[in-house]
Amino acid sequence: MTMLLTAPRRRRIFASAAAAMVVLAGGAHAALAAEAHQRGLPQFDATFFLTQLFWLALIFGTFYILIQGVAVPTLVRVLETRDSKIAFDIARAEELRNEAATVSAVIEDKIVHARDHARTILSLANREAENVATARLAMFDARISGRVRDAERRISHAREDALRELPAQVGTLVQEVVGRFTPGTAEPTLAAAAVQAEINERAH
């Protein structure tokens, strides 16, 4: 429909312009012929009508032709270039953003996996260390308890020995003491037997 109107419309505009000019020129000519030059409002002074119409037609016609032929196509082209460039830039930005999103998703994924892996390794190492520690602890424990048992055995032996020899020692001591403080002598066996009885009593 718009295509249908372009060329006939242009012809129509010029036709209407020409018609208007003719009408007004006729009116102006009539006014000019009828009245003399009057000192009224210059807008309505008919002397100048024809010249004004001529210059109006010339200048507006030239203006219109220039705009129709040159200005409008240039402007339309510039506006369209601008719009297409903006649309292209927006599309490209969208594209790049999507790409960045996918890449960052992949990276995120990898980071998570790496972290998991690290965690498993850490837990394994921990367990290893624990095992080694318990083993060594057990070894030391065994060694020490062995030594402790030996020492206790020695101590008990020594104690038994001491206890066994105690009565005889005490008898000898008593004899010595008595011999020093009294002129008589004591029986070492009596003192030893008394101490032995005391030891036996204490042991039960």
Residues making contact with another protein (CB under 8 A)? 1-2, 5-6, 8-9, 12-13, 15-17, 19-21, 23-24, 28, 43-44, 48-49, 52-53, 56-57, 60, 63-64, 67-68, 71-72, 75, 79
- Judged on CB neighbours under 10 Å (0-12, 13-18, 19+), 75 is exposed
What Å distances lie between residue 194 and 40, 97, 109, 164, 182, CA to CA? 172, 107, 91, 13, 20
Query: Which DSSP state fits 42?
Result: G
Distance separating alpha carbons of residues 131 and 163, to the nearest angstrom: 47
44 versus 88: smaller Cβ distance to another protein: 44
- Rounded to a whole number of angstroms, the minimum distance from the CB of residue 19 to another protein is 5
State the DSSP code for 39. -
Q: Which is nearer to another protein, 56 or 122 (CB)?
A: 56
Residues with Cβ within 8 Å of 185's Cβ and at least 6 positions away in sequence, in order, are 175, 178, 179
Residue 86: CB minimum distance to another protein, A: 15
Q: What is the smallest separation between the CB atom of 28 and another protein, expressed in angstroms? A: 8
In the bound state with another protein, the residue whose beta carbon lies nearer, of 8 and 146, is 8
DSSP 48: G
Nearest residue (CB) to another protein, 50 versus 194 = 50
Closest approach, Cβ 76 to another protein, in A, equals 8
